[in-house]
């Protein structure tokens, strides 16, 4: 341990692990003299790390209460990834983290070497990250409370408003939270329904952590559970259609669109829920395959409207 920089970081680790450390103890631990310890302390203070000291021969040092920051030994790629990740929180509906993001970025800017600070400035000045129109904002407090309850295996209670504006009171054993399709979902066992249920986190209010513990199911797979239930979340329309496409290809092509697929009559049966039908109909048409609509009848109407618009566009001429 001969590198002065590594000794400085070691000094910081010692201060974080002790309420109060004398200069003599630090000198002994670092195998340096008291004057060198003082230089290390000055270097840390230059990095805006709050260190209080008491004067005198038996003087001691301590980190100001409430301050905890481990040494940041990052590569250029790690600094870039960290900055990009913080900036991308809005992309997953967590814009409320903006003050925390700015605070974290400011701290990083103070403690990182100049070369790595350039990676942060590159993200800030060059890369624009905006959430898509399908991203639904979510309460940061709710996300933190739910995550803590899952980790502690404790029940939670909340008010829930369904897709059809029906309000209910729920108590569940939370198993996981998962972000997909621009929304945050809570998965757990609903005590009133006595079954697994999926809840939109943005539709939850009056969330209260409970005191009753439960046992997490062994081998629970949130992604698999979501894949099985996601196509049938509450929507204005429940779609049931057939397409002349092998199951393997349909499963691969429709995987990002939360559509349940199964082999049927030499093709693939598609089932899912949608609030709007135009995009779904246009997506099916783009495959160039034969399509049979079982339900809802509104989907047939949508195809007729698209056909009319397509014919008008084909027969139009320049004004």
pLDDT along the chain (319 residues), means of 10: 71 81 87 88 86 77 73 71 82 78 73 72 74 78 92 95 87 91 88 90 93 91 77 76 95 81 93 87 94 96 95 82
Beta bridge partners of 97: none
Q: What is the pTM of this model?
A: 0.60
pLDDT for residue 146: 94
Structure tokens at 287: 């495959």
Q: What is the pLDDT of residue 188?
A: 94
Domains and CATH numbers, the chain: 4-63 (1.10.10.10), 76-126 (no CATH), 140-224 (2.30.30.520), 235-314 (3.30.70)
Alpha-carbon distance of 306 to 311, in angstroms, equals: 9
Confirm if 80 and 119 have CB atoms less than 8 A apart.
yes
Question: CA torsion angle for 165, 168, 174, 176 (degrees, to 10)?
Answer: 0
Instruction: Count other C-beta atoms under 10 Å from residue 173's C-beta.
Output: 22
Hey, which residues does 179 pair with through a beta bridge? 184
CA dihedral 107, 109, 112, 115 (to 10 degrees): 170
pLDDT for the residue numbered 256: 67
- Those residues whose C-beta lies under 8 Å from the C-beta of residue 160, and which sit 6 or more positions away, are 167, 168, 169, 170, 199, 203, 204, 205
Cβ proximity of 117 and 74 under 8 Å: no
What confidence score (pLDDT) does residue 66 get? 67
pLDDT of residue 1: 42
Q: How far apart are CA 259 and CA 279, in angstroms?
A: 13
Do 273 and 234 touch, CB atoms closer than 8 A? yes
Gap between the Cα atoms of 193 and 171, Å rounded: 10
């Amino acid at each position: 341990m001969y590198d002065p920089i590594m000794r400085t970081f070691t000094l910081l680790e010692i201060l974080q692990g002790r309420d109060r450390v004398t200069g003599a103890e630090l000198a002994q631990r670092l195998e340096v003299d008291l004057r060198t310890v003082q230089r290390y302390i000055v270097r840390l203070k230059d990095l805006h790390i709050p260190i209080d000291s008491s004067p005198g021969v038996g003087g001691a040092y301590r980190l100001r209460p409430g301050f905890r920051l481990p040494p940041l030994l990052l590569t250029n790629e790690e600094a870039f990834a960290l900055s990009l990740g913080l900036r991308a929180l809005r992309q997953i509906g967590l814009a409320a983290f903006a003050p925390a993001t700015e605070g974290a970025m400011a701290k990083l800017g103070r403690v990182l070497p100049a070369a790595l600070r350039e990676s942060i400035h590159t993200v800030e000045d060059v890369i624009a990250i905006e959430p898509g129109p399908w991203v639904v904002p979510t309460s940061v407090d709710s996300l933190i409370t739910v995550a803590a309850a899952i980790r502690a295996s404790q029940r939670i209670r909340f008010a829930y408003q369904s897709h059809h504006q029906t309000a209910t009171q729920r108590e569940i054993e939370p198993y996981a939270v998962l972000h997909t399709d621009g929304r945050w979902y809570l998965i757990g066992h609903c005590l009133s329904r006595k079954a697994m249920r999926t809840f939109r986190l943005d539709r939850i209010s009056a969330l209260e952590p409970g005191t009753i513990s439960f046992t997490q199911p062994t081998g629970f797979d949130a992604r698999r559970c979501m894949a099985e239930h996601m196509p049938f979340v509450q929507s204005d329309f429940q779609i049931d259609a057939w397409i002349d496409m092998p199951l393997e290809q349909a499963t691969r092509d429709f995987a990002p669109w939360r559509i349940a697929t199964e082999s049927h009559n030499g093709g693939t049966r598609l089932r899912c829920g949608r609030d709007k039908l135009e995009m779904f109909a246009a997506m099916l048409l783009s495959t160039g395959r034969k399509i049979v609509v079982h339900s809802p009848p509104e989907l047939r109407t949508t195809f007729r409207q698209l056909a009319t618009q397509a014919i008008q566009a084909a027969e139009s001429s320049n004004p």
